[in-house]
Amino acid sequence: MEFIETNGVVLHCAIQRVEKGPPPLVFINSLGSDFRIWTGVCARLGDGWSTLRYDKRGHGLSEEGTDAYSIGRHADDLIGLLTKTGFDGVVLCGLSVGGLIALEIWRKRPDLVAGLVLCDTAAKIGTAQMWQDRIDLIRKDGIAALAEPVLERWFSSGFRSSCQEQVSGYRSMLVRTALDGYLGTCEAIRDADLTEVLQSITVPTLCLCGDEDGSTPPEVVMDMQEKISGSSFEMIEYAGHLPCVEQPDAIAQLLAQFVAKVHVQGQS
């Protein structure tokens, strides 16, 4: 566990380095979660990988900052973190809003990116009115007012019924997110549309989606994937919006295969 100041905020991160190996994997979390959602995936990948996990500003143990939130600011935070840690030529694995951040980093600093994994995300997520309605409700009643419908989108029906203790824990993660961090990131998603970026992507790209994702359903992710030249799509069975939690074995296997391919292409 480390704390690193960049772009005006102190970010909480976990870093694993190996001397030689495939490109580093950088994990970017969803709204209302912290980097612990990737714990199972990283455990299954093992020690032979360089990895960076971090909490976005206003999430987990990272500072909220005082500036207005935007996808560009979130991207600048991670660009600064990559610079300070010396990671480049990375594979960005962005989940939900993390996918928007990954796309923005590709737009701003393609030199840092060797590959993209866009997980349960889209270049534009939802509508401005949908996000404004969520913002207004949370300002009035708090994050807990939306906790149950969020959890229904996060997790498959089977997981919610059979893993109730874990669902309860992730509910705590959600509702304990800093209010300003959650609302600021909602505003960032509301205002973001990175559709034009998709046609510019020239690095290997893998798109993933849980088959029961209620936030960015498979057809939404597939529509994005079709706009990215040479990209591929994989459906994760028995998973909602956070397949890294429900199906860490499947995610780790797909990531290992994909990054190995990126590594081979980078050496050719």
Residue 173 scores a pLDDT above 80: yes
Residue from 24, 191, 169 nearest 97 by CA: 191
Residues β-bridged to residue 117: 93, 206
Encode the chain in three state secondary structure: CEEEEECCEEEEEEEECCCCCCCCEEEECCCCCCHHHHHHHHHHHCCCCCEEEECCCCCCCCCCCCCCCCHHHHHHHHHHHHHHHCCCCEEEEEECHHHHHHHHHHHHCHHHEEEEEEECCCCCCCCHHHHHHHHHHHHHHCHHHHHHHHHHHHCCHHHHHHCHHHHHHHHHHHHCCCHHHHHHHHHHHHCCCCHHHHCCCCCCEEEEEECCCCCCCHHHHHHHHHCCCCCEEEEECCCCCCHHHHCHHHHHHHHHHHHHHHHHHHHC
Q: What pLDDT does residue 55 have?
A: 98
Q: End-to-end alpha-carbon separation of the chain, Å?
A: 35
Give the rounded percent of residues in the chain with a pLDDT score beyond 90. 95
Q: What pLDDT does residue 111 have?
A: 97
- Mean pLDDT, to the nearest integer, of 22-28? 96
**Whole-number Å distance between alpha carbons of 92 and 23:** 10
Q: What pLDDT does residue 84 have?
A: 95
Q: What pLDDT does residue 263 have?
A: 83
- Mean pLDDT, to the nearest integer, of 184-188? 98
Q: What pLDDT does residue 244 have?
A: 98
Residue-range domain boundaries for the chain: 2-267
pLDDT digits (tens, 9 = 90+) for 92-103: 999 999 999 999
> Is the distance from CB of 75 to CB of 101 less than 8 angstroms?
yes
Q: Provide the whole-model pTM.
A: 0.97
pLDDT digits (tens, 9 = 90+) for 28-69: 999 999 999 999 999 999 999 999 999 999 999 999 999 999
Residue 162 scores a pLDDT above 70: yes
| Count, residues in the chain | 268
- Mean pLDDT, to the nearest integer, of 249-268? 89
Residue 1 scores a pLDDT above 80: no
- Mean pLDDT, to the nearest integer, of 161-179? 98
Q: What pLDDT does residue 234 have?
A: 98
Q: What pLDDT does residue 265 have?
A: 77
Residue 268 scores a pLDDT above 90: no
> Is the distance from CB of 10 to CB of 4 less than 8 angstroms?
yes
CATH for 2-267 (3.30.67.10, 3.40.50.720, 3.40.50.150, 3.40.50.1820)? 3.40.50.1820
Out of 13-22, 55-64, 108-117, 122-131, pick the least confident: 13-22
- Mean pLDDT, to the nearest integer, of 16-27? 93
| AA letter at 259 | V
